[in-house]
Amino acid sequence: MKRFHFILLPVLLFVALALAIACRRSVPSPTTPLPANARTWPVHGFIHAISTDRRTATIQHDAIAGYMGAMTMDFPMLDTNELIGFMTGDEITFQLVATDTNDWVQNVQLVAHHVTNVTNDEVVFHVPSIELKVGDLLPDTALTTENGDTIHFSDLRGRVVAFTFFFTSCPLPDFCPKMNRNFAEARQILLGSDKSPAGATNAAWQFLSISFDPMLDRPAVLGGYANVYRGADTNRWLFAVAETNSLAGLAPALDLQFWRENGSITHNLRTVVLDPSGHIARQFDGNDWTAQELVDAMHAAAK
């Protein structure tokens, strides 16, 4: 389900792709003390949008020293009541809190009401929606693997394939890192079931993590990053990077949106399961899915 509507930059003018972070994150109760591993930062920014239930706010924020660059992101709220009375364009300060697994906004304070366009110098373009549906054949796409090899989705035909997107310098724990943690857990479940005929997928399977940062995430970088989540065991889990031309064709098909902004990348989240013939069997939008749900989707695709 699309939660926001930033616009994808046209592929022929591929400077970056527009941001829309489409995910729902769990946060503690407002009365719960901060976890011991929580880190906090004071932040200044502008409100772009507020969800109807006030659970999330899209905020264009300044750089956060030592943590992340300036960008526009969808943040979960610790206390939805804090957004009562706020509106699009408001200049605010707030506290960003991050643990090892999630992040949220709290202590929102109004600086000033603004009626001007908070997007300032941002330029957006409109392109027709061409997002694929379950049952559609995924376009064949060239990828460069962590080993420096070139592969295509068509090379993986005959296997159930689960792939997701990331970039290695993504700072927030429940974005790219969470996708890879979920993949690690799902792979362990499937490797265990493969040892039991009753629980096996009845098909070959493959995990594929795809970076959309070809400027930084070259094979040597990917290999080191992969080891953090996969360890030395490379069985059935490959890390790769999509070059700009490949992304230009693949991203619109999945409504994958990302935007290079102030030295970093803002993005939404897409995780896809392909059946052995290369057709889309399931697409998970955002990060509100579990490793077991992914495993179940792969079992279903195998049938």
Residue 1 lies in a domain: no
Distances from the Cα of 198 to the Cα of 159, 187, 189, angstroms: 19, 17, 14
Q: What is the CATH number of the domain that holds 236?
A: 3.40.30.10
Q: What is the pLDDT of residue 37?
A: 86
CATH code (residue 52):
2.40.50.320
Whole-number pLDDT of residue 18: 36
Q: What is the pLDDT of residue 173?
A: 81
Q: Which of 112, 130, 152 is the C-terminal boundary of a domain? A: 112
The residue from 96, 112, 128 where one domain ends is 112
Q: Tell me, yes or no, whether 234 and 163 share the same domain.
A: yes
β-partners of residue 46 are 60, 91
Domain of residue 281: give its range. 142-302
**Are residues 154 and 42 part of one domain?**
no
Residue 51, both tokens: 């969800």
Task: Supply the pLDDT for residue 196.
Answer: 42
Tell me how many domains the chain contains: 2
Q: What is the structure's pLDDT at 68?
A: 84
Residue type, 251: A
The answer to whether the CB of 176 falls within 8 A of the CB of 184 is no
Series of mean pLDDT values for 10-residue runs along the chain (303 residues)? 37 35 51 81 89 88 85 88 84 90 89 54 40 88 93 94 92 86 94 55 82 89 92 90 84 81 76 95 91 95 89
Instruction: Identify whether residues 275 and 204 lie together within a single domain.
Output: yes
* Residue corresponding to tokens 């992914």: 294
